Amino acid sequence: NELKDFQDEIEKLNENVEFINQKGALLLQSSTSDSNDNPVERLLETINRSYDTLASKLKTPLNDSNQIESSTTTTITTDD
């Protein structure tokens, strides 16, 4: 299923997002600028929001696809 494969690829990106967050946290710790106006912090927030939005938007079509697939699957049983 292409949609499931695409969702799996997006979920793998979560590792990259976590890595970026870790590096960003280190940058923020070493930064002397005000955290309310820190471009690194704003960028991290944007990355996280974008990833979360993408991941949540994928869940609905995938669930719909799985429901359609399961409703069209028929099981044939035979009595021996």
Model confidence pLDDT, tens digit, residues 17-74: 889 989 888 888 877 666 567 788 888 899 999 988 988 887 777 667 666 766 665 5
CA dihedral sign of residues 65, 66, 71, 76: positive
pLDDT at residue number 46 = 92
Contact predicate 74/54, CB 8 Å:
no
DSSP string spanning 34-64? -GGG-HHHHHHHHHHHHHHHHHHHHHHHHHH
Q: Is the pTM of this model over 0.75?
A: no
User: Between these two residues, 30 and 16, which has the higher pLDDT value?
Assistant: 16
pLDDT at residue number 29 = 82
pLDDT at residue number 73 = 59
Distance from C-alpha of 12 to C-alpha of 20, rounded to nearest angstrom: 14
